[in-house]
Structure formats: C-alpha cells, structure tokens
Structure 1
Amino acid sequence: MQTAWERVRQLQTEDVTVYGKILGKTLRGALVKIEGLRGFIRTYVDKHREELVVGEELPLKIIEVREEYDSLTLLHCAVSIRIRQLEVGQIVSGTIRRIRDYGVYVDIGDLYALLPTSKIFYPSVDHPNQLFKINDHIKAIIVKLDHENGRVVLGTC
C-alpha cells in the first residue's frame, strides 16, 4: 500500500493523466480505483455527472492525496483542462442549470460555475429564483478560481 501511495503522489506532482474505472456512483461523485487505491471523483462541478456509467474508464487528474485519511480525490480531465483555460476577471457566457437559495449553477462549458447569492448585485432580491430561471442565458465575471478543488465562482457584470 505504501508503494501505491508514493506512486499517486508522484503522479500528482508530475500532473499525469491517470485512468480509472468507475466502481460506483454517489450523490456527489463517483468511486474509482487508481493504482490499487480507491479514489473519489468530484463531480459537483462537472456537467457530465449524470452521464457517468459504472464500469466506464475515464481520464482523470489527481487533485488531492491524503494517505492519513485514506483519501484520493480526482477531477475529470476535461474539467481540469477547462479550469486552467479560465482567468479571474474573464467574462463568461453560460446557461443556468440549477437554482438554490445560496446561488445559481451556470453551465460554462465542461463544468458548472457557482454564482453565489452574495455576488448577485440586486438589492431587492431575496432569492435567486426571483431573478433567474432554469435555461436562462447569462454573462458573468469570474471572481475566484480554485484549481485545486475544481471550483469556479462568478459575479454579476
């Protein structure tokens, strides 16, 4: 097991694409096996989450290795690549896919970005559904990129 943990740390450091077969799906992702270790694919930002199929092999990037917690966290390669193409301050276009009390999820390509309620600059709005509807097209500005966790935070323009 120690050799497997050393190997995945090396693969992460070298930013190597690894391939993992989906063992099962969860509400927030999927379980895979990498180098004999069980890993978790974060898919809450991945618009293709519903399309994941048990048994399917996917190209993945290792984003976190925590041997002490027996935890290996991965992102789908397409999501990792898309996030690297983005910059803070960049204007993006997208389609609203989910509306929650804390914000809206916007499909901006191969991933979902979050437009939090705190970044919606309309003072008379109590809930995002007063302003937005599913499938609305919007333009927003990227205010935060978290490459490590695969998160994109938007603000209104």
Structure 2
Amino acid sequence: MSEDLQQMLTESNLQVGDLVTGEVASIDSNGVTVHLEHGFEGFVPIRELSVLPVEDASTIVSIGSKVNAVVKNIDRESGQVTLSKRLADSREAWDKLQNAFANQETLEITVHDVVKGGLVTDVGVRGFIPASLLDTRFVGNLEEYKGQTLQVKIAEIDRDNNKLILSRKAVLENEQNQKVQKVISELHEGDILEGVVQRLTSFGAFVDIHGVDGLVHISELSWNHADHPSDVVNEGQTVKVKVLKLDPEKGKISLSIKQAEPDPFEKYATELQVGSVVNGVVKRVVDFGAFVELKPGLEGLVHVSQISHQRVNHPSDVLHPGDKVEVKILGVDYERKRVSLSIKDVQERPVVSKKDVKSKPSAPANKESESVTGTGATLGDLFGDLFKKGND
C-alpha cells in the first residue's frame, strides 16, 4: 500500500462497523468497487450486496449509483477496505420495519424467489411470506408469483433473531372487509338480486353479489330437502337470492335462494283439501316415513303407520325415491306449513279368511273327554256301557 493511501486511512480514522457512503466505480463477477468520500476505494463482495443470494451484481447496483455500506474489514497493509451493503441495508431496514409494524403500514415488495413453503423477498432484510399468508384462498402454484410486486403487511418481526414474516393475506382481508362494509351499507334486508355461485361447502353455497360473498345456508337453498348443496346448485351458476340478514360487525351477509321465489305451500294452499286423493312422487325415505312431492316444491309426509295396512318394518321396504304414489290428504297444518298424507287410506283393506284366524283350543272338561286312541274317540265313548252296567 502506498504511503499516501496509508496516511489517508489513518487520517480518516475509519473503523470497522462504520457506515460509509460511496459511488459505484466498477462491477465484476466478484463484487463492486466503490469510491468512498474519504478519497479511497472500498470493495463490496457479491455476497455482501444483499440478504438474498446474488448471481449478477449489476441486478443490485449500477455504475455511478450511490450506495451505503458498513465497513467489515480494513487491511492496513494492502489498503483493502471490505464493505457490506447488506449490513447497511439491514440496519436502516430494521428501524423502518419496526415503525411500519407499529403503525400497521402496508409495504410494497418484489418476490425474489420461491422456497419450500412460501416466497422470499429482500426489504433490507430477508422477508418470508408463508404460502398460508399469501392469499385468502389456497394457492397451488407459488412459481407464478416470482418477480411480482405485492402489497404486504408485517405479520411478525424479531430483530434479534433476524426474523421477518410478511402477509399478503392480511392486506387482501382488509381490502375485502372494506368492500364488504361498502356493499352492506348499500343493501337492505329483503332485497332480491342476482348473484353467481362461487363455491360449495357441506353447509351451504357462497354466492357473489356486487363483488363480495354471501352465504346461502343449505336450509335456504330450496323448498325441497337437500342432502348437499350440489343437489341444487353448481359453481358458476347465476341465481336469484333474497337478503335475509346483514351483519356489519362480523362482515357477513346471509342469503336465501328459496325465499327469492314464492313459497310453494302458500302458492298451493287453496288446493290442499283434507280428504282429497292426489298423486305424488316419493322424494325421500326416512326412518319414520316418506316425503311425497305433491306440487313443485311442496312435500307432505306419509308416516310409516300410514304406508300400508300390513306391518312395515322400515319405509324403504315398501317405498323408494321416484315411486309414483296415490295419497290421501289427512291434515294440513297451515301454521307449521305441514301436510299429513296416507297411502293405506286409498287402498282396500285386505280381507282376512277364516283359515288365517287361529282359534285357541278349548280346555278339556274332564279326563273322560281326553282322546286316547288318536281317532278322536273318548273314554266315555269306549267304556260308557261298562261303567253303566257296573253301576247297575
């Protein structure tokens, strides 16, 4: 090292750990050479350019650009000053990130790489976005996010352990909640409008209305019983729904498909005459009977005791879904909207023959009446005269 450079290093009082600023003078495969304000040069190895692996230094800096770096090592004999842009970025980043976390600020990041379980970004420190915090719905292909710019919030920050967890899901949920609140403020309970079925679950169907999802519970899908939502609707199907309930606090919208249409019971109530005989189709069979559709959407119950004059162990032994049957209307409960039906009352009661009636044998009057020969003759018949002579 020249005496002038050594003198410059001594006079600058440069120490390891100092934060310095310089201008990029050259770039090669090993790193970046920087002209420092002190009048000498420093070198940033390629591994010290970023918290993430770097293959090409020119993707991080360009000639003539200003960089901040931390002094990692000073070799006074060779005059080599080793710098770290990574450490300088990290120092500045942690302070900003702490403030952003405290204020719940949204950050804009670029996805640099895809790793097992999520995405990685460089925000001065290594940031990790778990796949579970990437979207409000399941994401199957993480590769499509590589290179994308995303809006995220800080989910967890631990400076001591160099840990930063980011969440795009939190941003999406916040945006969705704002959208839901806006839609709720514009809707009224009782409104009828069109929507599109987005997804089905075991308990109902989520329908998109004005860009937000409302739930149609399985009990509100149809006037007929449904074992699963897929029995009534399909994803992507356009449906008419009625707004049942709006809950701004929970951000929930309850909808009904069946109530967007006339109630079949009310529609056909005047046609339900007790004692009349009508035709119907068995829709479903349960332990206690069978439900028969009388009109579209209108079902009545045939209790197991009303299926047949003969004993029925289980309704499925006699009836099956799709069977066409003739039934008699036994009763109509207008308050509970229920119809009681009978199949056996429209059938003739079977005639029981004498052969089918088993009479109990009468008890013998005395021992003399007991049969001893198998021919039906009694002791009195065989020995009556003998007993009579003995008495004489």
Which bin holds the TM-score, normalised by the shorter protein?
0.5 to 0.7
Deviations 1:59-100 (A, max 9, x none): 2334x3262773513024675353431217705532112211
* Residue of structure 2 equivalent to 1:134: 321
Using the TM superposition, give the Cα deviation of residue 110 of structure 1 relative to its aligned residue in structure 2, in angstroms. 3.3
1:30 aligned to 2:205? yes
Tell me the CA shift for residue 131 of structure 1: 4.0
- Please tell me whether the aligned partners of residues 96 and 107 of structure 1 are also in contact (alpha carbons under 8 angstroms): yes
Deviates more, 1:77-86 or 1:116-125: 116-125
Partner of 2:58: none
Q: CA deviation at 1:7?
A: 1.8
SS of match in other structure, 2:268: coil
Residues 131 and 143 of structure 1: CA distance in aligned 2, closer, same or farther (over 3 Å):
farther
Are 1:154 and 2:329 an aligned pair?
A: no
Amino acid at match of 2:196: K
Residues 47 and 111, structure 1, Cα contact 8 Å, conserved in 2: no
Residue 57 of structure 1 pairs with residue 238 of structure 2: yes
Unaligned 5+ residue runs, structure 1? none
CA–CA separation in structure 2 for the residues paired with 1:145 and 1:60: 25
- From the superposition, tell whether residues 17 and 99 of structure 1 become closer, same or farther in structure 2 (CA, over 3 Å): same
Pairwise CA distance, 1:133: 2.8
Task: Work out the CA distance in 2 between the residues paired with 1:108 and 1:93.
Answer: 7
Q: Does the CA contact (< 8 Å) of 1:99 and 1:105 recur in 2?
A: yes
Show the counterpart of 1:45: 223
Relative to structure 1, is the Cα distance of residues 114 and 79 closer, same or farther in structure 2, using a 3 angstrom cutoff? farther
CA distance in structure 1 between the partners assigned to 2:269 and 2:306 by the alignment:
20
Deviates more, 1:20-29 or 1:53-62: 20-29
Summarize the Cα distance change of 1:38–1:60 in structure 2 as closer, same or farther, 3 Å threshold. closer
| Farther off after superposition, 101-110 or 113-122 | 113-122
Distance in 1, Cα, partners of 2:185 & 2:294: 34
Aligned equivalent of 1:93? 279
Q: Which amino acid aligns with 2:340?
A: G
Which amino acid in the other structure matches residue 33 of structure 1?
Answer: D
- Per-residue deviation, 1:109: 4.1
CA distance in 2 between partners of 1:47 and 1:100 (Å): 12
The answer (yes or no) to whether the contact 1:96–1:105 under 8 Å persists in 2 is yes
Higher helix share: 2
Q: Does 1:8 align with 2:188?
A: yes
Identity of aligned residues (%): 17
Counterpart Cα distance in 1 of 2:268 and 2:202: 27
Deviation at 1:31, TM superposition (A): 2.0
CA distance in 2, matches of 1:57, 1:101: 35
In 2, Cα distance between equivalents of 1:114 and 1:129: 17
Contact 1:119 1:154 survives alignment (8 Å): no
Find the aligned partners of 2:206 and 2:216 in 1 and give their Cα distance: 5
Q: How far did 1:136 drift?
A: 2.2
Q: Confirm or deny: 8 A CA contact 2:206 2:213 kept in the other structure.
A: no
Larger radius of gyration: 2
Per chain length, whose mean CA-contact separation is higher, i.e. which structure has more relative contact order (CA < 8 Å, sep 6+)? 1
User: CA separation of 1:156/1:81 partners in 2, compared to 1, >3 Å: closer, same or farther?
Assistant: closer
Q: 1:73/1:83 Cα in 2 relative to 1: closer, same or farther (>3 Å)?
A: farther
Provide the rounded CA distance (Å) in 2 between the counterparts of 1:144 and 1:73: 27
CA distance in structure 1 between the partners assigned to 2:272 and 2:287 by the alignment: 25
Q: How much does 1:8 deviate?
A: 3.1
Please give the secondary structure, in 2, of the residue aligned with 1:85.
helix
Q: Look up the match of 1:19.
A: 194
Q: Retained in 2: the 8 A contact 1:28–1:43?
A: no
Within 5 Å, which residues of 2 pair with 1:77-92? 80-87=262-269, 90=272
Q: TM-score, normalised by structure 1?
A: 0.64
Return the match for 2:291 from 98, 105, 108: 105
1:28–1:39 distance in 2 versus 1, CA, 3 Å? closer
Q: Structure 2 unaligned runs (5+)? A: 1-180, 343-392
Secondary structure at the counterpart of residue 187 of structure 2 = helix
Give the structure-2-normalised TM-score.
0.30
Name the CA distance, whole Å, in 1 between partners of 2:314 and 2:286. 8
RMSD of aligned Cα (Å): 3.9
